[in-house]
């Protein structure tokens, strides 16, 4: 995936030339922006779960689209850090809650943005929808297929907006790649996609309880370690397939305009034998209609390959690297590459999500590579929140939604079952 600066510069010019005169170029040249609801004022929002990902969303939520009224989390330390995010953004403080039902009962809110551990998505999202609140829920949609269906049914019955937090659907880069390359047929017939998310490090987090007598057991976590590292235990998590693959598989579903029909997978705890339950290496093959296949790998022993989505067609290959750079290769002439980088400009802290690293981290794009980038890296998350608020206030369509999100969720949970059963499973 490494190109010289000269190749990158040549590629950027060629990529823009390929998109010239298309709506995709307009999307790439100017950030996807919504002017905000005209009537009714900002949407009154409460947050459930303000850990790392919750605070990343909180950092792009505010006027003129949203008025953050309350924060709910069972970890007081997370609430304190969320207060700091509001203060940094010069927003007024929000009231604190440990119980989400108390927040809904006591606060005059219209919508909830939630990023709790995966096992709680279905319970909390459905409860909020049934209480008449609109919901933006972080990915993956739910821990299992039944939870996904429960959430979708609750949204339909309550006639409320339910969006799932796949920010790639709100990215100018992905929109331009889809409209100008995939949909335009530049790649020809596409039969294969390669999805990779490789890292070299321990997924385990380090931290101290908020107090010596802090006890999260009443919320289902026998120790603070289980709360802090919920991603490492099957009760709360679906592992690397949920936290990483679901992002990329959702893109494959989008670009293929279909969902997997069958899944084969392998994996295990190969490196970090530290008491974790979820796998630290996984490999999956997802079979789509019309002979299309997507293969996914995530390893925690080598970061050379980084993370990307690659789509291989009879006329060319499209690669989207780290959500910030798109490359296009003509089939039969790999050196004629085209690329465009997306910058990490913008005020405030970098998007501090669980799996999306700051653009200036070691190994990230160089200053030269992103010097002429087109949009703020956080623009996709910001656009996601703004469009959610616009959907609540004036009915603007959301970009992902439960019908799309459920496709990747079911396939990813099935991949874990395929590893366990050591067999190919149909969806």
Instruction: Note the pLDDT tens digit of each residue in 97-117.
Output: 999 999 999 999 999 999 999
User: Cα separation of 9 and 40, whole Å?
Assistant: 46
The answer, yes or no, to whether residue 367 has pLDDT greater than 50, is no
State how far the Cα of 300 lies from the Cα of 10, in Å rounded to an integer. Answer: 33
**377/237: higher pLDDT:** 237
Is residue 384 predicted with pLDDT exceeding 50? yes
- State mean pLDDT over 123-142: 98
**Each residue's pLDDT tens digit, 27-47:** 665 545 566 666 789 999 999
Q: Is the pLDDT of residue 343 over 60?
A: no
Confidence class for position 2, pLDDT limits 50, 70, 90? low
Q: Cα 114–120–124 angle (5° rounding)?
A: 55
Angle at 347 between CA 342 and CA 348, to 5 degrees: 110
Q: Is the dihedral of CA 159, 164, 169, 171 positive or negative?
A: positive
Confidence class of residue 375 from pLDDT cuts 50, 70 and 90? very low
What CATH class does 43-168 carry? alpha beta
Over residues 56-71, the pLDDT tens digits come to 999 999 999 999 999 9
Tell me the mean pLDDT in the region 191-216.
96
Contact predicate 197/298, CB 8 Å:
yes
Q: What is the largest CA-CA distance in the chain?
A: 65
Residue 332: per-residue pLDDT? 66
What DSSP element (H or E) covers 386?
helix 379-394
Q: Is the pLDDT of residue 249 over 70?
A: yes
Does 273 score more than 70 pLDDT? yes
Residue 309 is predicted with a pLDDT of: 96
Is the alpha carbon torsion for 153, 156, 159, 165 positive or negative? positive
Mean pLDDT of 394-423: 96
Does residue 293 carry a pLDDT above 70? Answer: yes
Domain segments of the chain: what residues? 5-31+172-372+401-426, 43-168
Q: What is the mean pLDDT of the chain?
A: 87
Residue 62: which region, alpha, beta or left (left: phi > 0; alpha: psi -120 to 50)?
A: left
pTM for this model (two decimals): 0.89
Does the pLDDT value for residue 358 go beyond 80?
no
β 190-197/307-313 pair status: antiparallel
Structure tokens at 386: 């703004």
pLDDT band at residue 26 using 50, 70 and 90 as cut-offs: low
Do 280 and 198 contact (CB within 8 A), yes or no?
Answer: no
- The answer to whether 90 and 146 have CB atoms below 8 angstroms apart is no
Beta strands in 166-208 (DSSP E): 190-197
Region of poorest pLDDT, from 20-29, 256-265, 335-344, 362-371: 362-371
Is omega for the bond preceding 140 within 30 degrees of 0, making it cis?
yes
Residue 164 in contact with residue 137, Cβ under 8 Å?
A: yes
The pLDDT of residue 22 is 73
Helix axes 145-158, 121-130, angle to 10 degrees: 10
Q: What is the second-level CATH architecture of the domain 5-31+172-372+401-426?
A: 2-Layer Sandwich (3.30)
Q: Is the pLDDT of residue 374 over 60?
A: no
> Between 39 and 324, whose confidence is greater?
324
| Residues in the chain, overall count | 427
Average pLDDT on 161-185 reads 93
């Amino acid at each position: 995936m490494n190109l010289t600066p000269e190749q990158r510069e040549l590629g950027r010019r060629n990529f823009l030339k390929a998109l010239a005169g298309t709506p995709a170029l307009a999307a790439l040249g100017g950030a996807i922006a919504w002017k905000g609801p005209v009537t009714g004022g900002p949407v009154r929002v409460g947050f459930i779960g303000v850990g790392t990902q919750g605070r990343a969303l909180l950092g792009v939520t505010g006027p003129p689209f949203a008025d953050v009224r309350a924060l709910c989390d069972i970890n007081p330390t997370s609430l304190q850090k969320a207060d700091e995010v509001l203060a940094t953004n010069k927003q007024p403080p929000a009231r604190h809650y440990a119980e989400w039902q108390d927040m809904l009962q006591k606060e005059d809110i219209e919508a909830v943005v939630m990023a709790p551990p995966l096992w709680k998505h279905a319970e909390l999202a459905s409860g909020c929808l049934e209480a008449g609140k609109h919901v933006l829920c972080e990915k993956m949609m739910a821990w299992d297929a039944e939870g996904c269906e429960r959430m979708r049914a609750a949204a339909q019955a309550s006639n409320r907006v339910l969006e799932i937090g796949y920010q790639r659907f709100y990215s100018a880069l992905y929109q331009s790649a889809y409209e100008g390359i995939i949909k335009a047929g530049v790649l020809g017939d596409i039969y294969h996609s390669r999805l990779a998310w490789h890292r070299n490090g321990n997924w385990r987090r380090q931290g101290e309880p908020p107090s010596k007598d802090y006890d999260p057991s009443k919320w289902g976590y026998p120790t603070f370690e289980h709360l802090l590292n919920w991603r490492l235990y099957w009760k709360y998590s679906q592992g690397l397939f949920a936290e990483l693959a679901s992002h990329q598989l959702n893109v494959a579903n989008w670009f293929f305009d279909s969902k997997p029909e069958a899944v084969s997978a392998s994996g295990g705890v190969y490196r970090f034998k530290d008491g974790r339950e979820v796998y630290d290496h996984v490999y999956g093959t997802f079979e789509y209609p019309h002979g299309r296949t997507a293969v996914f790998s995530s390893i925690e022993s080598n970061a050379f390959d980084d993370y990307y989505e690659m789509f291989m067609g009879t006329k060319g290959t499209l690669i989207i690297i780290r959500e910030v750079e798109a490359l296009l290769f003509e089939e039969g002439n790999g050196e004629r590459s085209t690329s465009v980088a997306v910058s990490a400009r913008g005020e405030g802290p970098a998007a501090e999500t669980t799996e999306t690293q700051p653009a200036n981290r070691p190994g990230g794009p160089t200053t030269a590579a992103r010097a002429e980038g087109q949009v703020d890296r956080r623009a996709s998350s910001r656009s996601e929140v703004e469009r959610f608020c616009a959907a609540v206030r004036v009915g603007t369509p959301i970009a992902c939604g439960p019908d799309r999100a459920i496709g990747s969720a079911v396939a990813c949970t099935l991949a874990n079952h395929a590893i366990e059963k050591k067999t190919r499973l149909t969806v």
